């Protein structure tokens, strides 16, 4: 994939992810705002209902206490007031005339109610006389109306109780306003009213409250009430006729935020899960893209390196064959044998390279036979050294053994584990600018044997150490072919060690060498 296209794809996916998460967050915020608004409306409705209940209760209490006094009030010398109302309607369908007449008689009463000293109240006794008549249309228009008798006549005389109640309330409010607030209402009444009304609205939340008069706190409040500006809800208490009130009920909800979020917990969890899934999917997609890009680059390097590795022996074989066909050489037995040996060695070299690739492939597919038996790790190490000893000697280096483990028998496949040690030693020989200097240590740790293979080569930085056991991975240098190989050796080492239930890791510092450590269980 083109680098520019890859970067553009990452940017577009990032923008899409940010957009989706932003929409989710906006949706969550909108849900919280809506729930908070709903809560505010519920609370306002509840407080208005509580204020109405308290005022109605106070009026009913005093009306009950002084009803007998009001009913026994003596008539004043006030003037009788009479007001008439008349209504008439003709129904042509039934051929009838409907007549309605109402007379309201209003009389004033005066009484002394022992609320306060020298207080007296004026009440109005209001009576209503109603007459309903239904007459025949033909009879109504006859010449002699005096003899007309209505088909139906209904009389209703009654006291106008609602008007009396309003009259009483208006007078009572003026007197009740002079009483202290703690004599008019108690904390239990407010608490019960709030609980009942909140429950009816489906709001289950703890609250605190306090009553304020002229902006100052009164003694009527709950034990934990604290007036916090901007965080309380209020409603006027004991509203007078002019709509004003000297008292105010303030209510706070300490766990308001928790209640609001709890009411949308399922939505929040669902949104959080979706956001997490989106982020994980995006991260996984980016990781796979980057990994595939790295694998693509590594495979390209591998193919290039493999091609280079094959071109050299193929060219050597071709040259040897051309030389053998030369009439001057074909008769020289020694030269023919030398060129033949050269062809055999180059062919063996190509065969080994192909075998390494196939071995890794079969190992990944679990098609490689790795039968195990009891063997001594010290013997395996010494056997592996014999494969590289000539190269070490040729380069003027050394391998020192420090085999201090008292127990060294393990369940192992000798052939593959010899290849493991050989691969590590081969890397120590390749990646050094000086004659190879290698030390091998063994020790026991509990039920394990640990082998340390330490060299004094060029070493590795931290980033290389993270990927050194990855398949096809090779440290990038100016010329990748400076050191022969395919990047499969250490990947093979790791898989074989893990197949033997062991662990392998590396410690290294650039310019100071590397130490490969293998940890295996003892028998």
Read off the pLDDT of residues 344-388 as tens digits, 9 standing for 90 and up: 877 876 776 677 667 666 666 665 667 788 999 999 999 989 888
What number of other Cβ atoms are within 10 A of residue 51's Cβ? Answer: 21
Label residue 128 by pLDDT band (50, 70, 90). Answer: low
- pLDDT value for 71: 55
Q: What is the mean pLDDT of residues 176-189?
A: 78
- C-alpha dist (Å) from residue 347 to 183, 226, 337, 440: 113, 93, 15, 33
**Distance (Å, rounded) from C-alpha 455 to C-alpha 427?**
9
Helix intervals (H) in 331-376:
333-364
- pLDDT value for 267: 77
**Distance (Å, rounded) from C-alpha 79 to C-alpha 497?**
119
- pLDDT value for 361: 66
Read off the pTM: 0.44
- pLDDT value for 34: 87
- pLDDT value for 120: 54
**Residues forming beta bridges with residue 415, ordered by sequence position:** none
Q: Half-sphere exposure of 134 toward its Cβ, with a 13 Å CA cutoff?
A: 8
Closest to 453 in 3D by CA, of 355, 373, 383, 519: 519
Say yes or no to pLDDT of 36 above 80.
yes
Segments of 113-230 assigned E as strands: 121-136, 152-159, 208-213, 216-221
- C-alpha dist (Å) from residue 265 to 256, 270, 307: 14, 8, 61
- pLDDT value for 273: 85
DSSP labels, 382-400:
HHHHHHHHHHHHHHT-EEE
Q: What is the mean pLDDT of residues 190-218?
A: 86
Label residue 415 by pLDDT band (50, 70, 90). Answer: confident
Label residue 282 by pLDDT band (50, 70, 90). Answer: confident
- pLDDT value for 118: 47
Label residue 217 by pLDDT band (50, 70, 90). Answer: confident
Q: What is the mean pLDDT of residues 265-270?
A: 80
Say yes or no to pLDDT of 402 above 60.
yes
Q: What is the pLDDT of residues 47-71, one digit of tens each?
A: 999 988 888 888 777 767 666 655 5
**Distance (Å, rounded) from C-alpha 355 to C-alpha 360?**
9
- pLDDT value for 178: 64
- Among 66-70, 186-190, 241-245, 494-498, the range scoring the smallest mean pLDDT is 66-70
Q: What is the pLDDT of residues 443-474, one digit of tens each?
A: 999 999 999 999 999 988 888 888 788 766 66
Helix intervals (H) in 101-176:
137-140, 161-176
Tokens, residue 202: 């489906």
Say yes or no to pLDDT of 91 above 80.
no
Tokens, residue 248: 């105010």
Region for residue 403 given its phi and psi (left: phi exceeds 0; alpha: psi -120 to 50; beta: otherwise)? beta
> Quick check: 418 and 496 in contact, CB under 8 A?
no
Q: What is the mean pLDDT of residues 208-227?
A: 83
Question: For residue 251, with 0-12 CB atoms within 10 Å meaning exposed, 13-18 middle and 19 or more buried, which class applies?
Answer: buried
Say yes or no to pLDDT of 76 above 50.
no
Q: Which residue has the tokens 């908070």?
A: 36
- C-alpha dist (Å) from residue 129 to 80, 98, 101, 136, 144: 14, 17, 8, 24, 28
> Quick check: 398 and 432 in contact, CB under 8 A?
no
Q: What is the mean pLDDT of residues 25-32?
A: 84
- pLDDT value for 343: 85
Specify the higher pLDDT residue, 295 or 452: 452
- pLDDT value for 333: 83
- pLDDT value for 77: 47
Q: What are phi and psi of 285, to 5 degrees?
A: -65, -45
């Amino acid at each position: 994939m083109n680098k520019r296209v890859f970067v553009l794809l990452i940017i577009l996916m990032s923008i899409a992810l940010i957009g989706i998460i932003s929409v989710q967050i906006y949706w969550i915020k909108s849900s919280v705002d809506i729930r908070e608004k709903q809560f505010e409306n519920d609370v306002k409705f509840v407080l208005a209902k509580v204020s109405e209940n308290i005022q109605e209760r106070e009026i009913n209490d005093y009306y009950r206490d002084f009803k007998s006094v009001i009913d026994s009030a003596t008539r004043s010398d006030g003037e009788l007031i009479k007001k008439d109302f008349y209504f008439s309607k003709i129904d042509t369908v039934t051929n009838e005339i409907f007549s309605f007449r109402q007379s309201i008689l209003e009389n004033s009463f005066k009484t002394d109610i022992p609320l306060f000293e020298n207080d007296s109240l004026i009440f109005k006794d209001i009576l209503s006389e109603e007459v309903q008549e239904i007459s025949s249309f033909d009879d109504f228009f006859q010449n002699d109306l005096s003899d007309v008798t209505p088909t139906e006549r209904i009389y209703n005389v009654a006291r106008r109780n609602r008007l009396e109640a309003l009259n009483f309330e208006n007078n009572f409010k003026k007197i009740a306003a002079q009483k202290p607030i703690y004599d008019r209402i108690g904390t239990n009444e407010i608490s019960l009213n709030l609980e009942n009304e909140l429950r009816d609205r489906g709001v289950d939340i703890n609250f605190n409250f306090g009553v304020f008069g002229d902006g100052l706190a009164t003694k009527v409040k709950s034990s934990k009430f604290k007036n916090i500006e901007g965080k309380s809800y209020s409603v006027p208490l004991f509203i007078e006729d002019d709509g004003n009130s000297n008292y105010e009920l303030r209510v706070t909800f300490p766990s308001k935020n928790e209640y609001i979020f709890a009411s949308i917990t399922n939505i929040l969890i669902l949104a959080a899960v979706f956001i997490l899934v989106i982020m994980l999917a995006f991260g996984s997609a980016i990781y796979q893209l980057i990994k595939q890009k790295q694998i693509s680059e590594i495979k390209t390097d591998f193919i290039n390196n493999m091609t280079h590795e094959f071109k050299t022996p193929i060219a050597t074989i071709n040259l040897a064959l051309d030389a053998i066909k030369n009439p001057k050489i074909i008769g020289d037995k020694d030269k023919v044998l030398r060129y033949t040996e050269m062809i055999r060695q180059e062919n063996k070299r190509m065969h080994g390279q192909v075998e390494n690739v196939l071995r890794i492939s079969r190992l990944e597919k679990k098609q490689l036979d790795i039968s195990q038996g009891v063997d001594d790790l010290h013997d395996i190490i010494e056997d592996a050294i014999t494969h590289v000893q000539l190269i070490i000697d040729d380069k003027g280096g050394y391998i020192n053994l420090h085999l201090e483990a008292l127990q060294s028998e393990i369940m192992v496949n000798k052939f593959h584990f010899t290849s493991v040690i050989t691969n590590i030693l081969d890397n120590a020989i390749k990646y050094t600018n000086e004659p190879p200097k290698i030390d091998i240590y063994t020790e026991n740790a509990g039920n394990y044997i640990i082998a340390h293979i330490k060299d004094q080569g060029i070493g590795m930085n931290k980033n290389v150490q993270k990927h050194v056991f990855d398949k096809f991975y090779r440290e990038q240098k100016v010329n990748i072919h400076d050191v022969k190989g395919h990047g499969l050796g250490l990947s093979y080492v790791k898989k074989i060690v893990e197949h033997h239930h062991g662990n392998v890791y590396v410690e290294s510092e650039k310019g100071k060498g590397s130490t490969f450590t293998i940890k295996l269980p003892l028998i």
